[in-house]
Amino acid sequence: MENWVYPTEETPFLAGETNLNEFLNRPLRMNGGAILLCKNGTARVTIDLIEFDIQPETEIILLTDSVLMLLETDRDFLATFFSFTSQLLNEACHRLDAPFFRYLKEHPTHKHSKETYKLINNLFDLIISTYEDHKNRFRSVIAKNYLQIYMLNVYNKAEQYFIGPRNDGYSRQEELFHQYIELVMKNFMKQRDVAFYANEMCISKGYLATIVHNVIGATPKVVLDKYIIQEIKVLLTSTDLSVQQIADYLHFPDQSYLGRYFKHHTSQSPIQYRSKWKNKFRR
């Protein structure tokens, strides 16, 4: 398994380089969090199903439960990474408030200037050096301090966008769209009826459809289905759960129903999809 995204209690942070190729068209759910800094090349990724273009000097911040997938990349793409457990993130950022983390969820990428990239890259060098210093019994504490420094710097730069009234150009419909996405992320495993979400938002299904279409040109059902399919893919490729167990976990009536649903959206059965990835990693 891709160790850089799975720090543990014994090794609460990891650092190094990655080209993300192992996640091409394969969604990855973060157990903890990670910061990536693009050094070379370009890539296109989805983060929580939203597409982003990644260029040199672009920073990516992934929080717990964020889902990353690589759509395409060139042969030169390379990023440095700093991944960490949820506990380390919480300890480093316990004084930072909820609006900041909502902002990071909505804006997970940032293109640095030449000057700020140089500073951030220098910090990454220190983080990687600390990770490689396995004999240093304080390296986890040092890493936590580096993470705190990093996030405080981001907080300082972004504070104007999430403190006080929203001033980043969001319309009322965009606010409602993000409310819909937050509800979907919290409830999609049990609730697959768009009417549930419209009721939770105290609006009609028709108005919800208008909002989603105006913001992203899709329907609420398409958005909901994407989250469900993404979760099935994550479970098929990152766990040993049987298809029946996945169906139970996601509250499908039975394995056959889940299989038909998955094949309708992907043109593959769950077993075919899982086998494809197992065969890939055997090579």
* Whole-prediction pTM: 0.85
From 48, 138, 153, select the one nearest 96 (Cα to Cα): 153
Which burial class, exposed, middle or buried, applies to 123 when counting CB atoms under 10 A from its CB (0-12, 13-18, 19+)? middle
In tens, the pLDDT along 83-103 reads 999 999 999 998 888 889 989
Distance between CA atoms of residues 9 and 30, nearest Å: 15
AA identity, residue 81: F
Q: How many residues does the chain have?
A: 283
Per-residue pLDDT 10s for the chain (283 aa) are: 446 778 998 999 999 999 999 888 889 889 899 999 999 999 999 999 999 999 999 999 999 999 999 999 999 999 999 999 999 999 999 888 888 998 999 899 999 999 999 999 999 999 999 999 999 999 999 999 999 999 999 999 888 887 765 545 457 888 899 899 999 999 999 999 999 999 999 999 999 999 999 989 999 999 999 999 999 999 998 899 999 999 999 999 999 999 999 999 999 999 999 998 766 655 4
CA-nearest of 188, 189, 184 to 246 is: 189
Predicted confidence (pLDDT) per residue in 219-257, tens digit: 999 999 999 999 999 999 889 999 999 999 999 999 999
Q: Which two tokens stand for residue 208?
A: 């919800």
The Cα–Cα gap between 162 and 104 comes to 10
